[in-house]
Amino acid sequence: DIQMTQSPSTLSASVGDRVTITCRASQSINSWLAWYQQKPGKAPKLLIYKASTLESGVPSRFSGSGAGTEFTLTISSLQPDDFATYYCQQYTNYFNFGPGTKVEMK
Amino acid sequence: EVQLVESGGGLVKPGGSLRLSCAASGFTFSNTWMNWVRQAPGKGLEWVGRIKGKTDGETIDYAEPVKGRFTISRDDSKTTLYLQMNSLETEDTAVYYCTTVRWTTLFDYWGQGALVTVSS
Radius of gyration of chain B (CA): 13
Best B107, B108, B112, B115 member to test A by mutation, with max A CBs in 10 Å, is B107
3-state secondary structure A32-84: CEEEEEECCCCCCEEEEECCCEECCCCCCCEEEEEECCEEEEEECCCCHHHCC
Q: What is the pLDDT of residue A48?
A: 98
Q: What is the pLDDT of residue B63?
A: 97
Q: How confident is the model at residue A8 (pLDDT cuts 50, 70, 90)?
A: very high
Q: What is the pLDDT of residue B35?
A: 96
What is the percent of chain A with per-residue pLDDT over 90, rounded to a whole number?
A: 99
Q: What is the pLDDT of residue A53?
A: 98
- Rounded to whole angstroms, what are the CA distances from A89 to A39, A59, A95, B53? 17, 20, 7, 22
Contact B98, B35 (CB under 8 A): yes
Report CB contact under 8 Å: B45, A32: no
Q: CB A31: neighbour CB atoms within 10 A?
A: 17
- Judging contacts by C-beta atoms under 8 Å, the chain A residues touching residue B35 are 95
How many Cβ pairs within 8 Å bridge chains A and B?
A: 44
**Alpha-carbon distance B36 to B21, whole Å?**
11
Q: What is the pLDDT of residue B64?
A: 97
pLDDT in tens, A56-88: 999 999 999 999 999 999 999 999 999 999 999
Report CB contact under 8 Å: A34, B107: yes
pLDDT in tens, B63-78: 999 999 999 999 999 9
Q: What average pLDDT does range A29-45 have in this prediction?
A: 97
CA angle A102, A60, A69 (to 5 degrees): 55
What is the percent of chain A with per-residue pLDDT over 70, rounded to a whole number?
A: 100
Give the sign of the dihedral formed by CA A47, CA A50, CA A51, CA A53.
negative
Q: Which segments of chain B have a pLDDT < 70?
A: none
Bridge partner list, A45? A37
Task: For residue A99, give the nearest of B44, B63, B108 by CB distance.
Answer: B44
Report CB contact under 8 Å: B44, A87: yes
Q: What is the pLDDT of residue B10?
A: 98
- Judging contacts by C-beta atoms under 8 Å, the chain B residues touching residue A47 are none
Task: For residue A46, give the nearest of B44, B97, B108 by CB distance.
Answer: B108
**Closest approach of chain B CAs to the CA of A9, in angstroms?**
11
Report CB contact under 8 Å: A45, B47: no
